[in-house]
Structure 1
């Protein structure tokens, strides 16, 4: 198959540097993916204050960011087939550069709609990059170790997710106590507007720096030795008789069920990473802007475990079963846990010297352990036996990222309607149940 012939030259180039250069470059991209993506966890409570939003409105941040994956996934696949993966990566970075720059007028005007446009552009650029990078990792080496390669990228991605909230807190969230509602309520309309405008303007410098870094990275990739890989584009282009590529991939249950699995997985991952800050803020956690880092730290731990044990001791399929079961258990603990107690933190992490957080907040963070290995396990399982349909199949899987747009918004709607953010986490239970189904049964299906 073309996927193997395209991957082989990358693995047999002379010299270690040349051989591993593609992985190093893709690793840098995954770090950048994580940095941009997991800033949202800190951005949501920040924009809730700055733009004076309720729960439901605040989670439009995740809606527009992740819906870009659904809207732009198939166009991104077309772009990559026409101009190549390397040029596509450069183009994706340039789109993200524009998105970062749009944050500057958004911060100056304090218009939530402009912030959402900027976030959609960032999501669009990431869609192009993800559509290229993930199948690249699958075909660059042996199928059975694909989860390990993606896990290594996951460490970089979630490592950036640890750094991003700390970076955001240092540049943007300092002295946030002065912007609480009790203080803002003492100001008249003009003073309140001035205070919130000053807060909003804090975004200008960090996003200007981000735009510069993205532009520099685009230039670097353009001149780098990153090779293009053949993921079956030629065969797809030659199949003129086929009604459409999408109809073709619909015949693969493992792919369609895999896309639904990723839909639910990304939904719960984003809920765990992006709602924890706002939830912690409600419970009085002072460093609420950094709580996304906790979730990402547990994900990094799980990725390291995955690299050690897959496929040496357990298969990708068994790792997915364990992930789903842990997700169900932690979700139940979130729902029934005591939000005014820190006993679990005191028992497990008092040695760290890090300020304690309530039990339920900790269990949201612990979902990082459950979520980490789902993405790297599902990709090779869903793309298995697709052959020349691999490129289109990867675009279909990318569409599953729309779960990150819809499920957090649904969570926000329940939280706003019921006034109980804790009980609203129940929506994760059916998500993890479907992931468990795919791990046990769904990935084995080869016909409907």
Structure 2
């Protein structure tokens, strides 16, 4: 059998005669394979399936589906919080692991294994499932994979093997990456097209909240450990915690099987998102802009790669940085890190609300500049007892400025693409998250070249500043000060401009065979 055409979803029997666009190339809205939805009318378990496309929902209608998917973002944040606990698993096992000592290199290895899943999944099976089977099946597949990764942790903890922890983290990363391929795009496009960035920031605020509560709950309740607890006792509590998360994943997958979500066709996404130069002024200059329409996406992938690297450098080295720059505050490290995560959640929620009133590109520029300025001040301050509070405060403030970058980069970089390219673009954006596996080892290599801890951290900290500058800094400047990009983004995200450009065919166009062609 020859390769399936990328313009076909392989479910020709599900196509509708009145579907939008050409059936030969457009992925059409798919009813649930469960016979209770769009199949056997006698199976009335739950009747939530809507005939409306996700991009056709009003703001009120989109609240329910977005709220359901927001559960996945909370789970993602909770997973990241538990991952931070798994870093400490090898610390009490120093006398039991023979293959590798539990140094910081081992901890970075665990972290890189998790984010290595983002390098493998999005452009292979995760993206394939999403493009051919839609949002809901991708959610279910990602939850199952993530649950398997948590179950694998159990035998690895029993054997107390570092390589087993690597495998468990990698499988967990594959699962979360699979979820993210579909979840971010679903939240962005589900509802009016004016506020992609705002919706995604508000929804990902739940991810940040999960990232706040998971470490606190793990440290104080689930994985609590005191001087009377043996390593084995503590590890058993961690095993049960991961097993609980696995069963929660499977239960959530079953929930999504019975609660179908609205889908959308490539043509429908194109109708509200594809930018085209006006037909009356299609000169050579505009043709070049049209040919370069994927430049915003490619720059967004690079910005995501750099930003995630800087973010994970802070995550992996957070305690070390506080101990180095402000050693008298080391006994309060967890409190400061939890405060920083709380400020990140507040920043996403605040930024998401603000984007309903001020264009997202301006928020993007402000927060990118804040990251660059704050990280530069941390480098510039000399360590003295008088500067300790300022350094800790700047470290916490830096996480506030990071807050809106990931969701804003993701949503903004997909603006102006046709439907099929939006789905590919979502996969590429999640691929950019693998920067979390690449840059922390680079940071560590730079730091280890110095024998003195303070000098090594200051030299390596330059990498954080550079990543913020060449990633989010560059893209935020382009989208605000390059006329063609600024014009396109405003036209796609401002209601009054949308109406004008939809009328003259610059956005979307008539739903005929020519204008609906998905490139």
Instruction: Tell me the SS of whatever aligns to 1:272.
Output: helix
Whole-angstrom CA distance in 1 between matches of 2:57 and 2:197: 23
Match of 2:63 in 1: 20
CA distance in 1 between partners of 2:386 and 2:69 (Å): 40
CA drift at 1:177: 6.5
The equivalent of 2:377 in structure 1 is 333
Mapped contact 1:44–1:278 kept (Cα < 8 A): no
1:415 pairs, out of 440, 447, 458, with 447
Equivalent residue number for residue 437 of structure 1 = 474
Note the C-alpha offset of 1:77.
1.1
1:321 aligns with 2:371: no
Aligned to 2:236: 201
| Structural mapping, 1:53-92, within 5 Å | 53-75=102-124, 76-92=126-142
Return closer, same or farther for 1:336/1:82 CA change in 2, 3 Å cut-off: same
Distance 2:306 2:439 in 1: 8
Match among 243, 257, 264 for residue 299 of structure 2: 257
Which one scores higher on RCO, CA 8 angstroms, separation ≥ 6? 1
In structure 1, the residue corresponding to 2:330 is in which secondary structure?
coil
| Match for residue 428 of structure 1 among 452, 464, 467 | 464
Aligned to 2:255: 220
Distance in 2, matches of 1:38 and 1:250, equals 39
State which drifts further: 142-151 or 258-267: 142-151
What is the CA–CA distance in structure 2 between the aligned matches of 1:12 and 1:321, rounded to whole Å? Answer: 30
Q: 1:137-185: per-residue Cα shift (whole Å, max 9, x none)? A: 2211233311111111121000001001101202466445689xxxxxx
- Give the structure 2 partner of residue 239 of structure 1: none
Give the 3-state SS of the residue equivalent to 1:285 in structure 2: helix
Cα deviations by residue, 1:377-414 (Å, 9 ceiling, x for unpaired): 21232111111311001111111001111112222233
Q: Say whether 1:120 aligns with 2:164.
A: no
Measured at CA, do residues 101 and 426 of structure 1 come closer, stay the same or move farther in structure 2, by a change above 3 Å? same
1:160 corresponds to 2:191: no
Cα shift at 1:338: 5.7
Paired residues in the alignment total 403
Larger Rg computed on CA atoms: 2
Structure 2: segments with no counterpart, 5+ residues: 1-19, 30-50, 95-100, 271-289, 486-519
- Asked if 2 retains the 8 angstrom alpha-carbon contact of 1:232 and 1:390, the reply is no
- Taking the aligned partners of 1:250 and 1:208, their CA distance within structure 2 comes to 48
**Offset from partner CA, 1:71-91 (integer Å, 9 cap, x none):** 111121111223322112111
> What is the aligned partner in structure 2 of residue 141 from structure 1?
191
3-state SS of paired residue (1:138): helix
Q: Once structures 1 and 2 are overlaid, which stretch shifts more, 225-234 or 68-77?
A: 225-234
Deviation at 1:362, TM superposition (A): 3.8
More helix by share: 1
CA contact (8 A) 1:99 1:118 kept: yes
Deviates more, 1:249-258 or 1:203-212: 249-258
Please give the alpha-carbon distance, in whole angstroms, between the structure 2 residues aligned to 1:362 and 1:15: 38
Unaligned runs of 5+ in 1: 180-194, 236-247, 346-358
Q: What secondary structure is seen at the aligned counterpart in 2 of 1:59?
A: helix
**CA deviation digits over 1:296-325, x for unaligned, max 9?**
11111211221232141x321111111111
Question: What whole-Å deviation, never above 9, does each CA across 1:246-304 have from its counterpart, x for those lacking one?
Answer: xx999611011100001111112222333213444664623545554222111112112
In structure 2, the CA distance between the partners of 1:288 and 1:375, relative to structure 1 (3 Å rule), is same
* Cα distance, 1:374 vs structure 2: 1.0
Question: Corresponding residue for 2:407?
Answer: 376
The alpha-carbon deviation at position 196 of structure 1 amounts to: 4.3
Deviation for aligned residue 1:55: 2.0
Segment drifting more, 281-290 vs 407-416: 281-290
Check the 8 A contact 2:187/2:203 in 1, yes or no.
no
Q: Does residue 385 in structure 1 map to residue 420 in structure 2?
A: no
What is the match of residue 339 of structure 2?
A: 294
Q: CA–CA distance in 1 between the matches of 2:162 and 2:234? A: 14
What is the Cα-based RMSD across aligned positions, in Å?
3.2
User: 2:76 corresponds to which residue?
Assistant: 33
Contact 1:99 1:121 in 2 (8 A): yes
Shift of 1:133: 0.8
Write the distance in 1 (CA, Å) between the matches of 2:142 and 2:322: 34
1:40 deviation in Å?
2.8
Q: Is the 8 A contact 1:320 1:439 kept in 2?
A: yes
Q: CA deviation at 1:366?
A: 2.0
The CA deviation string for residues 102-128 of structure 1, in whole angstroms up to 9 with x for no partner, is 111122122111111111111101111
Task: Say whether residues 1:400 and 2:449 are aligned partners.
Answer: no
Q: Provide the rounded CA distance (Å) in 2 between the counterparts of 1:228 and 1:158.
A: 26
Q: Does 1:93 align with 2:138?
A: no
Specify the alignment match of 2:284 in structure 1.
Answer: none
Distance 1:342 1:273, change over 3 A: farther
Moved more, 263-272 or 166-175: 166-175
Distance in structure 2 (CA, Å) of the matches to 1:12 and 1:232: 12
Q: Distance in 2 between matches of 1:340 and 1:173?
A: 36
Partners in 1 of 2:261 and 2:202 — Cα distance?
18
CA 1:47–1:416 in 2, change beyond 3 Å: closer, same or farther?
Answer: farther
